[in-house]
Amino acid sequence: MREKVRFLGLDVHAETIAVAIAEPAGKVRSLGTIANREESIPKLVRKLGPVEQLRACYEAGPTGYVLYWQLTRLGVDCAVIAPTLVPVKAGDRVKTDRRDALKLARCHRAGDLTPVWVPDEGSEALRDLVRAREAAKADQLRARHRLSKFLLRTGRRPESKMKAWTGAHMTWVRQLRFQQPAQESTRLDYLHEVEHMAERVLRLEQAIRDAIKLASPEMQEVIKDLQALRGIAEISAVTIVSELGEISRFESARQLMGYSRGPRGQVFVRGVGAARCPVRIPAASAHNAAALPRRATRTSDASPSKRPGVIGSGQASAQGCASGRGACRKRSRRLPGRRKSGSRDGMPGWRRPARTRARSSPPWRANCRASSGPSASRLKRPANKRWRHDKRRTKTTAKAKTFQRMKKQKQNVR
């Protein structure tokens, strides 16, 4: 069956498609150019013979996956190729539609091309809706910048401090009036644009929620699971699922992050050349653990619901709120074993945690003491080992350092 397979290379453009075919044991030849229309594809497939013996391919680009879906419905095995991974000969600088189609057919027969994952029509429709919402958010930011910079240039600032773009702030902007008719017209135009962008974003977000209800049960389950992560809500989860597609196609987490990594190490979930959706906040939340206070050991008579910072079946105790909020940042920065003795904010039953790590000198120093003779002076600390020195044994006080420095100065004078 492999001997009868014919490989088809397509160089797709908005109006035309350059076609080339590679025979199993013959040379690669060009078949000319056809119009990029829906009725032209079935005619080409009928001329080339049985669909079971055809293997088509074309580069991913701005034309999307319409041709792939059309060839698949006709029964042709089609692959969408990553254009950046197509082999290029050194010195081959001539590039035409005919030569590109011939190279695709030749490389497809040799197995040198790398296909990309192609979504189905439903996933592509949801992705278009998500990208429309991202474009609306970008337009909303530009409209807000125009209005805020206009008010800044004219010296209009609210009398009381208020957060920008809230209900109170928008009410203050609507109540502004300018003496010059031109400035008043500018204010009204900028204000109308900001309100229009806000309505547009809300309308698209509601459309996304409605589209989720019509999605497959598997996609709905993945969206719910992603919302369990800290920093990811419903819209962010839909964005990740629509852009990544089938997450199971990645063999490891390293491969997934390599696919979604953007410039300067920032994490994205979009390809190069499109409006990307960053997920830096969830990634940072997963990398850096929450700054929770260190657990205080309690006696056996204290119930778990009264521990500081722990909420039981009812509401949290006053001691838990005080120790959980006020002392959270300071206590989380302390090193292990540095807590002072005594009670913490007068909490009954609190005691200092016992040390679990015994103090000892580094092993390489013990070896130096045990050794004798000329070889003992050559014993050094292993370079590939990290040892945390005991501060009480290795730290020299500032007073001792000053004394040693003065002693050296006296010796130099003598």
Q: DSSP 3-state assignment of 243?
A: helix
pLDDT of 13 reads 95
Per-residue pLDDT tens for 173-191?
A: 999 999 999 999 999 999 9
Cα–Cα distance, 68 to 70 (Å, whole number): 5
Cα–Cα distance, 120 to 245 (Å, whole number): 9
Q: DSSP 3-state assignment of 341?
A: coil
Helix (H) or strand (E) holding 17: strand 16-22
Calculate the alpha carbon distances from 157 to 87, 103, 138, 298 in Å.
59, 63, 25, 54
Mean pLDDT across 96-106: 94
Amino acid of residue 289: A
Amino acid of residue 92: D
Q: Which residues contact 305 (CB under 8 A, 6 or more apart)?
A: 311, 312, 313, 314, 317
pLDDT of 279 reads 54
Per-residue pLDDT tens for 190-200?
A: 999 999 999 99
Q: Which two tokens stand for residue 225?
A: 């699971």
Cα–Cα distance, 158 to 179 (Å, whole number): 18
Per-residue pLDDT tens for 322-332?
A: 444 444 444 44
User: Residue 343: which region, alpha, beta or left (left: phi > 0; alpha: psi -120 to 50)?
Assistant: beta
Q: How confident is the model at residue 70 (pLDDT cuts 50, 70, 90)?
A: very high
pTM: 0.64
Which has the minimum average pLDDT: 274-278, 313-317, 393-397?
313-317
Cα–Cα distance, 174 to 187 (Å, whole number): 9
Helix (H) or strand (E) holding 54: strand 54-59
Secondary-structure class of domain 2-110 per CATH: alpha beta
Output 394 or 167, whichever has higher pLDDT: 167
pLDDT of 231 reads 85
Q: DSSP 3-state assignment of 238?
A: helix
Mean pLDDT across 268-280: 46
Residue span(s) of the chain under CATH 3.30.420.140 come to: 2-110
